[in-house]
Amino acid sequence: MMQQLQDTAAYIQSQTDNFEPEFGIILGTGLGALVNEIEIKYSLSYSDIPDFPVSTVESHSGRLILGLLAGRNVIVMQGRFHYYEGYTMEQVVFPVRVMKLLGVKKLFVSNAAGGLNPAFNTSDLMVLTDHINLQPGNPLIGKNLDEMGPRFPDMSDVYDEHMIRQAMVIAEDADFDLREGVYVSVPGPMLETKAEYKYLTIIGADAVGMSTVPEVIAARHMNMPVFAVSVITDMCTPDRIKKVKLSDILEAAAIAEPRMTMLIRELIKLQ
């Protein structure tokens, strides 16, 4: 695995004149427009990168973007990978580990999620303060990559408190409500039953999605600070559950996208 990671990182460096990104960004479902804010230096298709998975979700572009955001060097995944696509956890987090080898210091993650907290509304943004992993495993199972991190990494402070507080100030100055909460990651790809939504609420989740946690676990294993934000694309409380199509999720994400883009851009300026 280490040899694959090193070979992939070397290939990306060879295609980008050894561009050195400071920050890594993973863009979730319907949240690819942040790329429009980037002064793009290089754009690589996932299918051209050795050992890189290829996104199979129709709303994920499948490109690795390198360039400048708010004057800072960034590497952006325009489309991510999910366990439900048939990938192993090692494949899901492979790009995050490559980012580390390329020099990334901090990771920013976005996702689309269902709202479990009754105080939330569709198209709200929720900063992740913690998570619950209900995926059928995690990327650290198996032989530990000692070069990347310890066998038993601590997960008591997964999401960077300083960046969370900075984000809250940015939102206040921009005059919009930024929610805080716990994200629960489930396998998917089906949405949950009413009983499952109730269960997820009981165990302490404010939003539910099918991604993010594996990548975050890998990042924290490598001691990378993480900031993550969910766009609430549908409400899953008993009085507001309705049948949801992908088009509904994309529409809700599009409404929130300008705020999310601004939030990440301004946050990167402060790092």
Residues contacting 151, CB < 8 A, separation 6+: 144
Q: What percent of the chain has pLDDT over 90?
A: 86
pLDDT of residue 54: 80
Cα gap 26→10, rounded to integer Å: 20
Tell me the CA distances in angstroms from 136 to 129, 185, 228, one per residue in order.
Answer: 22, 10, 21
Give the pLDDT band of residue 249 (cuts 50, 70, 90).
confident
pLDDT of residue 131: 98
Tell me the CA distances in angstroms from 154 to 212, 213, 228, 249, one per residue in order.
Answer: 18, 14, 18, 34
* Number of Cβ within a 10 Å radius of residue 210: 24
pLDDT of residue 151: 96
Mean pLDDT of 25-52: 90
Cα gap 13→5, rounded to integer Å: 12
What's the pLDDT tens digit per position in 191-230? Answer: 999 999 999 999 999 999 999 999 999 999 999 999 999 9
Give the pLDDT band of residue 33 (cuts 50, 70, 90).
confident
pLDDT of residue 14: 97
Nearest to 179 by CA among 237, 224, 113: 113
Point out which residues pair with 42 in neighbouring strands.
66
Mean pLDDT of the chain: 94
The helix/strand/coil state of 120 is coil
Spans of all domains in the chain: 2-269
Mean pLDDT of 6-10: 96
Is the model's pLDDT at 52 over the cut of 70?
A: yes
* Number of Cβ within a 10 Å radius of residue 150: 12
Cα gap 139→142, rounded to integer Å: 8
Question: For residues 185 and 132, is the Cβ–Cβ distance under 8 A?
Answer: yes
pLDDT of residue 58: 56
Domain 2-269 CATH (choose: 3.30.200.20, 3.20.20.100, 3.40.50.1580, 3.40.50.450)? 3.40.50.1580
pLDDT of residue 247: 86
pLDDT of residue 56: 66
pTM of the predicted structure, to 2 decimals: 0.95
Is the model's pLDDT at 180 over the cut of 60?
A: yes
Is the model's pLDDT at 60 over the cut of 60?
A: no
Cα gap 85→115, rounded to integer Å: 23
What's the pLDDT tens digit per position in 119-175? Answer: 999 999 999 999 999 999 999 999 999 999 999 999 999 999 999 999 999 999 999
Question: For residues 114 and 235, is the Cβ–Cβ distance under 8 A?
Answer: yes
